């Protein structure tokens, strides 16, 4: 039997994508799923393909029915799909996944999997699946959903190797480095791409969770894999461990994380830990994202993936997606809040907007939250109201909040409105010109700061411009 390399499957998927005029990406909500969606969306942006991203907690009959009802031209499933091909009938789709394919799971193993072992013989109705199981590899450690999506992106354009770090974040999120303390199989090839492109630096070091952002004693206290008597789950014991070594736990007011330790401190700690547990249990490869700020969750793959998991867990997958796609302002701010368990911030913000009420104008809608929601998150929160039934999906929304230097205005639109001619960045450009504020952005999301006394004038102007944009296309 001809067994294609996973690369050939990816090329097949890429050609199918190129033929489409619009794609719906459906992804899972864990860190791997969010990284997958990030890769898919950035790749489709890169080739100028119109698309929309949806998230599914699970892909069941009800979800498949809903998807079918929307009559999508082409669906790209990432980090899910292979285990559900039996319910995806009548959906044009490609699948990049690493879960066990339907025909291979359970007792029904003698049935030939529906796949592309022989491209020429495959009827059109079959699904294109980029999945390591089809090439005799183990999906639990060879490659993640993000890795599979990455292979498709790379097949779309080799330049998209610049997204390889997201595939590493996805793999680490699915703990594919855990067994050996390092990534293996196809993940290794992706890692090589990432290193060559300068988006990942691999180091060998203590690989416990929180090495960048947690106080070092907390890192050790919560390292549940280690199970060291008197230290694991024992903050006093963990602090004592470091203090007995003469390690300063604080610098000034701040707790010191592992990355703040100097070389000799690190050596001392590693030697002392090695007396308690075998070094393989706490030393391994660590994947650094050198373009991100050191000492933040984004600077290391494991912490990055945990940040994404917090977004998915709190029904805010879209925030994680924005972070994957490069938002280092509002979405990142909200993601940090979710990471700290501040889900309330998001829920309360949505509630506040509803209580204040959305004011309707002819072509736009707006909400002025005053100082009740921070200006750094208000736009993202407003954008999350689309599709919730809480606002009018046919108009862009402008959220206004007090900022240090005036009133921050954040505009958010939808894919459909962009198609109809909406360009929020143009509105902000004109507003800045007229009111001498500051601002800019994209067609779908943009912001500006305007003087408080000019707010009404701004809204009139925005209403007028949106009216023009939506009627002239
Ligand atoms: Mn996965």
Cα–ligand 1 centroid distance for 254 (angstroms): 36
Tell me the CA–centroid distance for residue 164 and ligand 1, in Å.
16
Q: What is the arithmetic mean of pLDDT over 305-328?
A: 93
Using alpha carbons, select from 144, 152, 148, 196 the residue that is nearest to residue 171: 144
Calculate how far, in angstroms, residue 102's C-alpha sits from the geometric centre of ligand 1.
16
> How far apart are alpha carbons 95 and 26 in whole angstroms?
10
Tell me the CA–centroid distance for residue 129 and ligand 1, in Å. Answer: 15
How does the average pLDDT of the chain come out, rounded? 90
Asked whether residue 227 carries a pLDDT value surpassing 80, the answer given is: yes
The percent of residues above 90 in pLDDT, for the chain, comes to 73
Ligand 1 mean position, distance from CA 144 (Å)? 5
**215: its two tokens:** 């106080």
CA of 172 to the centre of ligand 1 (A): 10
pLDDT band at 473 (very low <50, low <70, confident <90, very high): low
Q: How far is the CA of 383 from the centre of ligand 1 (A)?
A: 27
* 106 vs 355, more confident: 355
**Distance in Å, CA 25 to ligand 1 centroid:** 15
Dmax over Cα atoms in the chain, in whole Å? 74
Contact by Cβ (8 Å): 37, 56: no
DSSP state of 208: -
345 pLDDT band, cuts 50/70/90, is: confident
Question: What is the Å distance from ligand 1's center to 469 Cα?
Answer: 41
* Ligand 1 centre distance from Cα of residue 186 (Å): 14
Residue 104 contacts by C-beta under 8 Å, 6 or more apart in sequence?
Answer: 113, 133
Single out the residue of 74, 37, 79, 39 nearest to residue 59, CA to CA: 79
Give me the DSSP letters along 233-274.
T-HHHHHHHHHHTT--SEETTEEPBGGGS-HHHHHHHHHHHH
Distance from Cα 388 to the centre of ligand 1, integer Å: 27
Distance 362 CA to ligand 1 centre (A): 44
Q: Say how many Å lie between the CA of residue 86 and the centre of ligand 1.
A: 19
What confidence tier does 263 reach under pLDDT thresholds 50, 70, 90? very high
Do 217 and 239 form a contact (C-beta atoms < 8 A)?
yes
Give the tens place of pLDDT for each residue, 410-467: 999 998 899 899 999 999 999 888 988 788 888 888 999 999 999 999 999 999 999 9
Mean pLDDT across the stretch 162-186? 95
Most confidently predicted of 80-84, 134-138, 178-182, 188-192: 188-192
**HSE value, Cβ hemisphere, 13 Å, CA-based, for 447:** 20
Task: Tell me the HSE value of 63 on the side-chain side, using a 13 A CA sphere.
Answer: 17
In the structure encoding, which two tokens stand for residue 422, read together? 């909406």
> 267 CA to middle of ligand 1, Å?
35
Query: Which two three-digit tokens encode residue 453?
Result: 């006394």
pLDDT in tens, 146-157: 999 999 999 999
- Which residue, 241, 456, 465, is CA-closest to 368? 456
Average pLDDT over residues 252-264: 96
Ligand 1 centroid – CA 99 distance (Å): 7
Q: What is the C-alpha to C-alpha distance for residues 75 and 82, in angstroms, rounded to an integer? A: 13
pLDDT at 124: 34
Q: How close is the Cα of 79 to the center of ligand 1, in Å?
A: 5
Burial class (CB in 10 A: 0-12, 13-18, 19+), 450: buried
Tell me whether strands 445-450 and 406-412 are parallel, antiparallel or unpaired. antiparallel
Given its phi and psi angles, is residue 366 left (phi above 0), alpha (psi -120 to 50 degrees) or beta? beta
Q: Give the rounded percent of residues in the chain with a pLDDT score beyond 70.
A: 94
35: CA distance to ligand 1 center in Å? 9
Per-residue pLDDT tens for 358-377? 999 999 999 999 999 988 88
Distances (CA, A) of 453 to 399, 400, 410, 432: 16, 13, 17, 14
Q: What is the pLDDT of residue 113?
A: 41
pLDDT at residue 347, rounded to an integer: 83
- 169 touches 308 (CB < 8 A): yes
Q: Tell me how far the alpha carbon of residue 450 lies from the centroid of ligand 1, in angstroms.
A: 44
384 or 323: which leads in pLDDT: 323
pLDDT digits (tens, 9 = 90+) for 89-148: 999 999 999 998 886 544 343 444 444 443 333 333 368 999 998 888 888 999 999 999
Ligand 1 center from residue 415 Cα (angstroms): 27
Phi-psi region of 86 (alpha: psi -120 to 50; beta: other; left: phi over 0): alpha
What structural domains and CATH numbers belong to the chain?
6-203 (3.90.1640.30), 353-471 (3.10.310.40)
pLDDT at position 121 is 33
For residues 71 and 68, what is the distance between their CA atoms, to the nearest angstrom? 5
Task: Give residue 115 CA to ligand 1 midpoint distance, Å.
Answer: 20
How much is the pLDDT for 7?
87
Write the CA distances from 164 to 39, 84, 105, 191, 239, integer angstroms. 9, 27, 29, 7, 37
Rounded Cα–Cα distance for residues 243 and 231 (Å): 13
Q: Residue 342 C-alpha to ligand 1 middle, in angstroms?
A: 25
Span from the CA of 176 to the centroid of ligand 1 (angstroms)? 10
Confidence of residue 340 (pLDDT cuts 50, 70, 90): confident
Tokens of 64: 């498949």
Residue 162 has pLDDT above 60, yes or no: yes
| Alpha carbon of 381 to ligand 1 centroid (Å) | 27
Ligand 1 midpoint to CA 377 (Å): 29
Tell how far the Cα of 125 is from the centroid of ligand 1, in angstroms. 25
CA of residue 130 to ligand 1 center, whole Å: 13
Distance 145 CA to ligand 1 centre (A): 5
Between residues 387 and 78, which one has the greater pLDDT? 78
């Amino acid at each position: 039997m001809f067994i294609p390399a996973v690369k050939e499957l990816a090329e097949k998927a890429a050609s199918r994508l190129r033929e489409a005029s619009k794609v719906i990406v459906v992804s899972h909500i864990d860190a791997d799923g969010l990284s997958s969606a990030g890769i898919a969306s950035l790749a489709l942006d890169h080739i100028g393909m119109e698309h929309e991203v949806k998230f599914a907690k699970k892909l069941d009959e009800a979800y498949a029915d809903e998807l079918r009802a929307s009559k999508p031209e082409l669906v790209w499933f990432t980090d899910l799909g292979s285990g559900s091909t039996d319910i995806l009938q009548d959906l044009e789709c490609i699948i990049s996944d690493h879960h066990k394919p339907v025909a291979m799971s359970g007792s029904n193993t003698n049935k030939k999997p529906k796949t592309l072992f022989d491209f020429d013989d495959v009827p059109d109705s079959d699904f294109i699946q980029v999945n390591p199981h089809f090439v005799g590899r183990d999906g639990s450690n060879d490659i993640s959903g993000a890795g599979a999506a990455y292979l498709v992106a790379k097949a779309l354009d080799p330049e998209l190797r610049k997204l390889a770090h997201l595939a590493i974040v996805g793999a680490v999120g699915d703990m594919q480095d855990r067994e050996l303390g390092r990534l293996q199989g196809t993940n290794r090839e992706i890692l090589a791409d990432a290193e060559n492109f300068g988006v990942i630096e691999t180091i060998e070091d203590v690989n416990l969770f929180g090495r960048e952002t947690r106080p070092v004693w907390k890192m050790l206290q919560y390292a549940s894999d280690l199970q060291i008597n008197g230290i694991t789950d024992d903050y006093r014991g963990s602090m004592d461990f470091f203090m007995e070594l003469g390690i300063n736990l604080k610098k000034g007011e701040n707790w010191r994380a592992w990355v703040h330790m100097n070389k000799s401190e690190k050596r001392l700690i590693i030697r002392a830990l090695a007396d308690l547990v075998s070094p393989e249990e706490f030393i391994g490869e660590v994947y650094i994202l050198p373009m991100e700020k050191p000492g933040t969750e984004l600077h290391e793959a494991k912490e990055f993936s945990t940040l994404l998991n917090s977004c998915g867990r709190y029904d805010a997958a879209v925030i994680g997606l924005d972070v994957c796609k490069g938002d280092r302002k509002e979405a990142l701010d909200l993601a940090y809040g979710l990471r700290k368990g501040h889900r309330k911030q998001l829920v309360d913000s949505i509630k506040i907007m509803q209580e204040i009420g959305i004011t309707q104008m002819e072509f736009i809608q707006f909400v002025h939250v005053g100082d009740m929601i921070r200006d750094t998150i208000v736009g993202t929160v407003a954008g999350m109201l689309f599709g919730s039934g809480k606002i009018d999906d046919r108009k862009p929304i402008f959220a206004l909040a007090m900022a240090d230097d005036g009133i921050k205005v954040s505009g958010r639109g939808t894919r459909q409105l962009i198609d109809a001619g909406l360009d929020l960045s143009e509105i902000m450009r004109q507003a800045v010109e007229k009111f001498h504020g500051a601002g800019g952005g994209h067609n779908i999301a943009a912001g500006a700061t305007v003087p408080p006394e000019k707010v009404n004038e701004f809204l009139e102007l925005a209403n007028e411009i949106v009216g023009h944009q939506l009627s002239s296309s």
